[in-house]
């Protein structure tokens, strides 16, 4: 090892013209010659004769010096410079070729770099916490489910008993002292720096930031355990963004008081700020304020199952502990916890699941990214095949030059090296232009990725960093070798006599096999990409033609700041909004489609005893006002809609969605029958008064949701506003905001968005992947088309002479064109067939991304085949037509 | 080289690669030597059978030095001049042992082979 290094060092010294080594050698030679001469003089020769003999015996001094320099490495660098110079000259002499090759490679490398920069940001770059590999997400799941939360009691047992964890923390329980509600984050009113604002509040255990390794600033602190108890001082940590917004980054923030709204008391409470979280700290949820959760371990262990807090949990492993070791330990504690719980049968189907935090965040993104990575990989391959073909054609025309150089003594290695240098130079130029393209593409990706890759992409900062640069360099070089090696190896040993004899025309069918193979693979790769894109396009078209069950156009939606049961405030606001000019109907619902809020539970029909719970329908349970159906465009199928008479004093009523009605009352008229649900109205039995059409609550790509609608007067909830407008809905926004503040100046509306926007956002990810893959497929088609065109053009040029002969002998121009088209299309069709087979095998990776389209959808496959054939036909026809214009006389003289 | 062949057809050219072995052996047997001394020793042993461009000894020395099989040092020659002295290193001795064994094996094979052909 060391002597290899030393040899390398010696060589490197040689590179930089080691004068001393030259000098030493001169001295040695001189001394040697003198000694030899002296010896011959001693033997009786004259001085001149002796010197001559000595020199003869010593051999050629110049050659020796040369050899030494070569061994020391000077020649190596000389050759490299020569190669480079020559390569630059060759590339400049063929600007058309150079431009096309550079562009082709640039497109391929650019697309790869851009996608890789996303992969890098999401998958490869570690999370910005100290020792992020020790952070894990902890779940308790039954069976094979995932995403289960952890019961409060178990969480505290883990915290006390675990020896494999350095720390374990929880966030945002569904029940905390201050924010008693179900769901993930809650929008609360906030007063700080004198302004009213709406903020998202996250409740955490005191050690949450400590476990992550995050230190609040400026000189802030984390919560302490004593603050994480009921009745202790109320403290808060602000997000960087909120701190900037309301306090202009005031460094004296610690110790100041803010006010937050509490649900229980429906009034503001004072909180003392203890610190500010780092910028872009959007993990788990983009909260604006964090407060201690205040869970009581004793109580959590003692209460009934229904009341237990369920917590998302994050932990930090001790150094050297594996995920599996920690899992086994936590599982043991879990089993013990289940066994010792008072008055309950232990559940044996529960399993602890640990995943690294990185995987928890970005694991789901992997599949779509894999498809995109595959797509850009294919494009790069096509680009390589294209350039290799160009090079091959050019090398053929350069055969004479190569033969001359070979005849003049250039070795095979030298010729190969020369050609590879050219290719690498091309690849580097391609890499540079690719990087330019990538920096643009990456910016585009970032703009669209927040909707697509989720909240997390925002903090993952998709940028071109050293790892991306390294990747680009690597693929550029590999690409250069890949497309360069083939022609280089093929032609570095030209058959001298043949090439020199043939002259410049470069000879008929040599290299045809390789060229055709490249063309076949190009076409096949393009077909695979086209099929992938085609499937996504078909999915998207199908998705957008799905009937959501409501009419989203001309609907403005917003959330009211409200507590449960505030019917009067609600009535007042709705009346005011309904009176606004341009508002056709003022509806309201507790659970607006596409918001992610949904309350689902079992529904039962009176008189139909449930056979098995598994087959019992689970429905979305929703409170609406009478105008909601009109505002949303949901239509009545039977019976009547809710009306103003359905209020607190009157009999309980319910409206069912069609499918739910059918499921609950098969072969019966449901109107007038009674139902019951497990969530809202238990144990009362509301009467069914009407049936409305089905709605896809969770999104276009979900099944219709079975839904029960109650009158909000009989089941008061916090509501979303749904305003049907006669004018453009977004033009109503200022008036709506003002109307809400008129009713109560301390209650702004929030989450204001048109229903069309919500619908469009709900399919943004699909649209994004579809557009991207379609763009890539178009690129592939273009490259493949250019490739086919190039090859056929080349063949036409090669066979000019032959065409001349044929035409002179009476061939029609149509015959000639057919000849080339037939030859080209035979290769294309082979590629097409292989591509379709490849797509057949590969598209199953995309199954999760498709909607209502099989991974082997025949229509898509057929359309792709047709499209590609047409493009290829065009690419063959254009050069073939040129062949028909050949003047036989000129062609025969062509040489 | 071709000049040498036509002038002294009797002499054999030094086989490629064997010069390194010879140089190593000389340094092993005689201790530190300068280039001239090595050339003399080879000439002496070969008894005029081998024809050698003495300059190539220096190429061999450079190659061996790059592989750390020999080391060089400046010293004073017989006529009190500064000269570069080469000596074999520990790894050079190992290499010599390997090469010697290798050479003997090949020589044996060739000898047997030639004998075999002679009998037929």
Q: How far apart are CA A441 and CA A443, in angstroms?
A: 5
> Which of A303, A295, A293, A251 lies closest to A273 in space, CA to CA?
A251
Q: How far apart are CA A519 and CA A872, in angstroms?
A: 11
Which has the closest alpha carbon to A464: A472, A453, A456?
A472
In a domain, B3, yes or no: no
Residue B95 lies in a domain: yes
Give the one of B63, B68, B84 whose C-beta lies nearest to A6's C-beta: B68
Minimal CA separation from A782 to chain B, in Å: 54
Q: Which of A205, A225, A203, A207 is nearest to A215 (CA)?
A: A207
Question: Residue A817 in contact with residue A884, Cβ under 8 Å?
Answer: yes
DSSP state of A651: P
pLDDT tens-digit readout, A253-296: 888 888 887 666 667 788 889 999 988 777 777 788 888 888 88
The region of weakest confidence among A139-143, A233-237, A409-413 is: A409-413
pLDDT, position A167? 92
Mutate to test the interface with B, among A20, A42, A57 (most CBs of B within 10 A): A57
Alpha-carbon dihedral sign for residues A616, A620, A621, A624: negative
Q: Which domain holds residue B84?
A: 9-119
Shortest CA gap B66–chain A (Å): 5
Which residues on chain A are in Cβ contact (under 8 Å) with B34? 28, 31
A647 has pLDDT over 90: no
Q: Are strands A687-692 and A653-657 parallel, antiparallel or unpaired?
A: parallel
Higher pLDDT, A889 or A873: A873
CB contact (8 A) between residue A29 and residue B58: yes
* CB < 8 Å to A24, chain B: 84
In terms of CA atoms, which chain B residue is nearest residue A8? B66
Q: Give the dihedral of Cα atoms A99, A105, A108, A113; nearest 10 deg.
A: -110
Q: Which residue has the higher pLDDT, A459 or A744?
A: A744
Q: Do A7 and B66 touch (CB under 8 A)?
A: yes
Query: Is residue A16 over pLDDT 80?
Result: no
Range from A3-7, A83-87, A469-473, B58-62 carrying the lowest mean pLDDT? A3-7
- Say if B1 falls within a structural domain: no
Q: What local confidence, expressed as pLDDT, does residue B1 receive?
A: 36
CB A149 within 8 A of CB A139: yes
Q: Which residues between 65 and 84 in chain B have a beta carbon less than 8 angstroms from any beta carbon of chain A?
A: 66-68, 77, 79, 81-84
More confident call, B117 vs A559: A559
CA distance A417 to chain B (A): 24
Could you tell me the pLDDT band of residue A179, with boundaries at 50, 70 and 90?
A: very low
At residue B13, the pLDDT reads 56
Report the gap between the CA of B88 and the closest CA in chain A (Å): 15
Minimal C-alpha gap between A32 and chain B (Å): 5
Residue A73 is predicted with a pLDDT of 66
Cα of A404 to nearest chain B Cα, Å: 26
Q: Tell me if A71 and B62 make a contact (CB, 8 A cut-off).
A: yes
Q: What is the mean pLDDT of residues A625-649?
A: 92
**Chain B residues near residue A29 by CB distance under 8 angstroms:** 55, 58
pLDDT band at A10 (very low <50, low <70, confident <90, very high): low
* Range from A202-211, A416-425, A504-513, A780-789 carrying the lowest mean pLDDT: A504-513
Interface test with A, best of B19, B43, B44, B54 (most A CBs within 10 A): B54
DSSP-derived secondary structure letter, A504: G
Coil vs helix vs strand at A215: coil
What is the helix (H) or strand (E) element at residue A529, kind and residue range? helix A512-544
Closest CA–CA distance from residue A493 to any residue of chain B (Å): 26
Whether the CB of B11 is below 8 Å from some CB of chain A: the reply is no
Instruction: Kindly state the percentage of chain A with pLDDT values over 70.
Output: 87
Q: Nearest by CB to B36, from A31, A71, A72: name it.
A: A31
Across A45-59, A406-420, B77-91, least confident range: A406-420
Chain B CB contacts of A3 under 8 Å are 67-68, 91
What does the DSSP assignment read for A56-120? HHH--HHHHHHHHHHHHTHHHHHHHHHHHHHHHHHHHH-HHHHHHHHHHHHHHHHHHHHHHHHHI
Residue A524, burial from CB neighbour count under 10 angstroms (0-12, 13-18, 19+): buried
User: Measured between CB atoms, does B56 come within 8 Å of chain A?
Assistant: yes
With cut-offs at 50, 70 and 90, classify the pLDDT of residue B3: very low
Token pair in block for residue A645: 């008479």
Band the pLDDT of A805: cuts 50, 70, 90.
Answer: confident
Residues of A in contact with B62 (CB under 8 A): 68, 71-72
Instruction: Report the gap between the CA of A14 and the closest CA in chain B (Å).
Output: 12
Q: What is the mean pLDDT of residues B70-88?
A: 81
Instruction: Quickly state the pLDDT bin for A756 (edges 50, 70, 90).
Output: very high
State yes or no: pLDDT of A177 exceeds 50.
no
From the CA of B112, how many Å to the nearest CA of chain A?
Answer: 35
- Among A107-121, A164-178, A280-294, B8-22, where is mean pLDDT lowest? B8-22
List of chain A residues whose C-beta atoms are within 8 Å of the C-beta of residue B54: 32, 36, 57-59
Q: Looking at the predicted structure, is the pLDDT value of residue A415 above 50?
A: yes
Average pLDDT, chain B: 78
**How do A707-711 and A618-624 pair as beta strands?**
parallel
Contacts of A63 in chain B (CB under 8 A): 55
Min Cα distance B106 → chain A (Å) is 28
Q: Give a yes or no: residue B94 inside a domain.
A: yes
Say if the Cβ atoms of B68 and A7 lie within 8 Å: yes
Ranges A114-128, A737-751, B11-25: which has the least confidence = B11-25
Distance to chain B for A71, nearest Cα, Å: 7
Residue A848 has pLDDT above 90, yes or no: no
Out of A3, A7, A59, whose CB is closest to B55?
Answer: A59
Question: What is the percentage of chain B residues whose pLDDT exceeds 70?
Answer: 79
Range A63-79 average pLDDT: 71
| B13 interfacial to chain A (CB closer than 8 Å) | no
Task: State how far the Cα of A102 lies from the Cα of A88, in Å rounded to an integer.
Answer: 13
Task: Compute the average pLDDT of residues A447-464.
Answer: 59
How would DSSP label each residue in A114-149? HHHHHHIIIIISPPSSSSGGGEEEEEEEETT-----
**Does residue B39 fall inside a structural domain?**
yes
Query: Residue A258 and residue A274: Cα distance in Å, rounded?
Result: 11
Q: Is B118 on the interface with A (CB under 8 A)?
A: no
Whether the CB of B96 is below 8 Å from some CB of chain A: the reply is: no
* Residues A653, A716: Cα–Cα separation, whole Å: 14
- How far is Cα A783 from Cα A104, in angstroms, rounded to an integer? 7
Question: 3-state DSSP call for residue A487?
Answer: helix
Give A68's contacts in chain B (Cβ within 8 Å): 58-59, 62
Residue B31 located in a structural domain: yes
Nearest CA in chain A to B2: A59
DSSP per position, A14-45: HHT--HHHHHHHHHHHHHHHHHHHHHHHHTT-
Residue A52 pLDDT > 60, yes or no?
A: yes
**B83/A10 touch (CB, cutoff 8 Å), yes or no:** no
Assess whether pLDDT exceeds 50 at residue A302: yes
Q: Which residues of B touch A23 (CB under 8 A)?
A: none
Contact with chain A for residue B48, Cβ under 8 A: no
A18, A31, A37, best to mutate vs chain B, most B CBs in 10 Å: A31
Q: In the predicted model, is pLDDT for residue A570 greater than 80?
A: yes
A57 vs B77: CB contact, 8 Å cut-off? no
pLDDT at B44: 83
Q: What pLDDT, on the 0 to 100 scale, is given for residue B7? A: 38
Q: What share of chain A is helix, strand, coil (3-state, %, to 5)?
A: 55, 15, 30
A interface with B, Cβ–Cβ below 8 Å: 3, 6-7, 10-11, 24-25, 27-29, 31-32, 35-36, 57-61, 63-64, 67-68, 71-72
Tokens 């006010």 belong to A259
Q: What are phi and psi of B79, to 5 degrees?
A: -90, 30
Q: Between B34, B53, B58, which is nearest A25 by CB?
A: B58
pLDDT of residue A891: 67
Q: Whole-number mean pLDDT of chain A?
A: 82
User: Given CB atoms, is B36 within the 8 Å cutoff of chain A?
Assistant: yes
Overall average pLDDT of the A327-345 stretch: 85
Q: Which of B59, B66, B67 sits opposite A64 (nearest CB)?
A: B59
List pLDDT tens digits, range A707-726: 999 998 888 888 899 999 99
What is the reported pLDDT for A5?
52
Q: Is residue B4 part of a domain?
A: no
Which residues of chain A lie closer than 8 angstroms to B68, CB-CB?
3, 6-7
C-alpha to C-alpha distance for A35 and A23, rounded to whole angstroms: 18
On chain A, the residues whose CB falls within 8 A of the CB of B64 are none
**3-state DSSP assignment of residue A260:** strand
- Whether the CB of B91 is below 8 Å from some CB of chain A: the reply is yes
Q: Report how many domains make up chain B.
A: 1
To the nearest whole percent, how much of chain A has pLDDT over 90?
Answer: 23
Res B6 pLDDT > 60 = no
B96, part of any domain? yes
- Greater confidence, A222 or A800? A222
Q: Provide the pLDDT for residue A180.
A: 35
Other CB atoms within a 10 A radius of the CB of residue A469 amount to: 15
Nearest to A68 among B39, B59, B68 (CB): B59
Q: Which of A3, A27, A28 sits opposite B67 (nearest CB)?
A: A3
Give tens-digit pLDDT for A206-244: 899 999 998 887 778 888 888 887 777 788 999 888 888
Whether A650 has a pLDDT exceeding 70, the answer reads yes
Interhelix angle for A412-452 vs A95-119, to 10°?
50
Question: Best-predicted range by mean pLDDT among A120-134, A238-252, A576-590, A765-779?
Answer: A576-590
State the DSSP code for B15: P
Report DSSP state, residue A729: G
CA distance A629 to A689: 14
A243 backbone dihedrals φ, ψ, rounded to 5°:
-60, -45
Other Cβ atoms less than 10 A from the Cβ of B85: the count is 18
Task: Name, in order, each residue with C-beta under 8 angstroms of B21's C-beta and a sequence gap of 6 or more.
Answer: B96, B99, B100, B103
Residue B20: CATH number of its domain: 1.10.10.10
Query: Do residues B20 and B98 make contact, with C-beta atoms less than 8 angstroms apart?
Result: no
Compute the distance between CA of residue A559 and CA of residue A631 in angstroms, rounded to an integer.
Answer: 15
Chain B residues close to A31, C-beta within 8 Å? 34, 36, 77, 81, 83
């Amino acid at each position: 090892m060391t002597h290899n290094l030393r040899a390398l060092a010696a060589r490197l010294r040689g590179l930089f013209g080691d004068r001393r080594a030259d000098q030493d050698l001169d001295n040695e030679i001189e001394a040697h010659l003198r000694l030899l001469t002296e010896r011959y003089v001693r033997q009786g020769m004259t001085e001149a004769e002796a010197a001559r003999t000595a020199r003869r015996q010593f051999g050629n001094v110049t050659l020796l010096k040369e050899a030494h320099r070569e061994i020391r490495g000077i020649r190596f660098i000389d050759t490299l410079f020569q190669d480079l110079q020559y390569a630059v000259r060759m590339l400049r002499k063929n600007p058309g070729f150079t431009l096309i090759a550079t562009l082709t490679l640039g497109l391929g490398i650019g697309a790869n770099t851009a996608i890789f920069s996303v992969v890098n940001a999401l998958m490869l770059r570690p999370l910005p916490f100290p020792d992020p590999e020790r952070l894990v997400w902890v779940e308790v799941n039954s069976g094979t489910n995932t995403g289960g939360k952890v019961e409060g009691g178990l969480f505290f047992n883990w915290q006390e008993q675990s020896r494999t964890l350095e720390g374990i923390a929880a966030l945002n329980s569904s029940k905390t002292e201050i924010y008693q509600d179900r769901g993930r984050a809650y929008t609360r009113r906030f007063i700080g720096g004198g302004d009213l604002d709406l903020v998202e509040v996250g409740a955490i255990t005191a050690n949450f930031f400590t476990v992550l390794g995050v230190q609040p600033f400026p000189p802030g602190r984390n919560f302490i355990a004593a603050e994480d108890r009921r009745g202790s001082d109320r403290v808060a940590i602000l997000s960087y963004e909120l701190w900037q917004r309301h306090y202009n980054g005031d460094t004296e923030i610690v110790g100041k008081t803010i006010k937050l709204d509490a649900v229980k008391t429906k009034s503001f409470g004072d909180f003392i700020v203890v610190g500010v979280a780092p910028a872009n700290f959007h993990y788990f949820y983009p909260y604006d304020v964090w407060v201690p959760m205040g869970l009581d371990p004793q109580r959590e262990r003692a209460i009934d199952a229904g009341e237990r807090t369920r917590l998302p949990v994050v932990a930090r492993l001790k150094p050297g502990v594996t995920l599996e070791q920690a899992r086994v330990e936590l599982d043991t504690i879990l089993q013990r916890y289940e066994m010792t719980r008072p008055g309950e049968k232990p559940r044996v189907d529960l399993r602890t699941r640990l995943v690294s935090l990185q995987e928890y965040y970005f694991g789901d993104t992997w599949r779509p990214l894999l498809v995109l990575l595959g797509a850009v990989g294919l494009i790069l391959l096509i680009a390589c095949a294209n350039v290799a073909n160009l090079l091959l054609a050019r090398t053929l025309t350069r055969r004479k030059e190569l033969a001359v150089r070979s005849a003049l003594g250039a070795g095979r290695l030298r010729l190969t090296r020369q050609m590879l240098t050219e290719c690498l130079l091309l690849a580097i130029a391609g890499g540079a232009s690719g990087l330019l393209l990538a920096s643009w593409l990456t910016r585009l990706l970032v703009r669209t990725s927040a909707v697509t890759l989720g909240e997390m992409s925002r903090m993952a900062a998709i940028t071109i960093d050293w790892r991306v640069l390294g990747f680009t360099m690597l693929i550029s070089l590999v690409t250069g070798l890949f497309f360069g090696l083939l022609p280089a190896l093929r032609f570095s040993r030209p058959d001298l006599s043949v090439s020199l004899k043939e002259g410049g025309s470069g000879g008929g069918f040599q290299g045809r096999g390789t060229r055709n193979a490249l063309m076949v693979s190009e076409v096949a790769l393009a077909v695979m990409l086209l099929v992938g894109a085609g499937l996504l396009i078909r999915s998207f078209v199908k998705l957008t033609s799905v009937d959501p069950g409501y009419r989203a156009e001309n609907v403005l939606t917003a959330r009211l700041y409200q507590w449960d049961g505030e019917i009067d405030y609600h009535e007042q606001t709705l009346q005011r909004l309904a009176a606004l000019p341009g508002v056709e109907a003022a509806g309201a619902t507790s659970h607006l489609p596409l918001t992610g809020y949904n309350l689902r539970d079992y529904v039962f029909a009176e008189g139909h005893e449930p056979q098995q719970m598994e087959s019992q329908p689970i429905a979305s349970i929703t409170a609406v006002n009478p105008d909601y159906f009109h505002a949303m465009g949901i239509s009545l199928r039977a019976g009547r809609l809710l009306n103003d008479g359905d209020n607190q004093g009157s009999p309980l009523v319910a409206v069912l969605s069609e499918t739910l009605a059918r499921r609950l009352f098969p072969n019966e008229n449901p109107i007038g029958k009674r139902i019951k649900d497990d969530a809202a109205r238990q144990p009362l039995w509301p009467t069914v008064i009407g049936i409305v059409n089905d709605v896809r609550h969770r999104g276009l790509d979900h099944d219709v949701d079975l839904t029960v609608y109650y009158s909000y007067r009989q089941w008061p909830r916090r509501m979303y506003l749904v305003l049907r407008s006669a004018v453009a809905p977004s033009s109503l926004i200022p008036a709506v905001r003002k109307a809400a503040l008129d009713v109560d100046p301390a209650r702004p509306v929030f989450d204001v968005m048109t229903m069309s926007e919500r619908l469009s956002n709900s399919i943004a990810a699909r649209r994004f992947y579809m557009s991207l893959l379609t763009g890539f497929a178009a690129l592939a088609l273009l490259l493949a088309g250019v490739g086919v065109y190039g090859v056929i053009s080349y063949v036409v040029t090669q066979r000019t002479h032959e065409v001349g002969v044929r035409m002179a002998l009476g061939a029609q121009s149509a015959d000639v064109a057919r000849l080339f088209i037939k030859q080209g299309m035979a290769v294309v069709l082979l590629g097409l067939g292989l591509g379709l087979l490849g797509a057949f095998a590969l598209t199953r990776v995309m199954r999760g991304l498709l909607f209502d389209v099989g991974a082997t959808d025949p229509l898509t496959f057929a359309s792709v085949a047709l499209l590609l054939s047409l493009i290829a036909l065009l690419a063959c026809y254009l050069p073939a037509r040129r062949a028909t214009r050949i003047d036989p006389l000129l062609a025969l003289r062509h040489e | 080289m071709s000049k040498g062949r036509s002038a002294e057809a009797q002499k054999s050219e030094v086989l490629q690669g064997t010069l390194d072995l010879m140089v190593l052996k000389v340094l092993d047997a005689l201790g530190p030597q300068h280039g001239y001394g090595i050339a003399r020793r080879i000439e002496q042993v070969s008894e005029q059978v081998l024809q050698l461009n003495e300059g190539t000894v220096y190429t061999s020395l450079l190659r061996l030095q790059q592989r750390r099989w020999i080391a060089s040092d400046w010293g004073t020659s017989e006529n009190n001049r500064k000269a570069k002295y080469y000596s074999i290193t520990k790894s050079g001795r190992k290499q010599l042992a390997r090469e010697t064994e290798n050479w003997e094996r090949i020589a044996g094979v060739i000898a047997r082979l030639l004998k075999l052909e002679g009998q037929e």
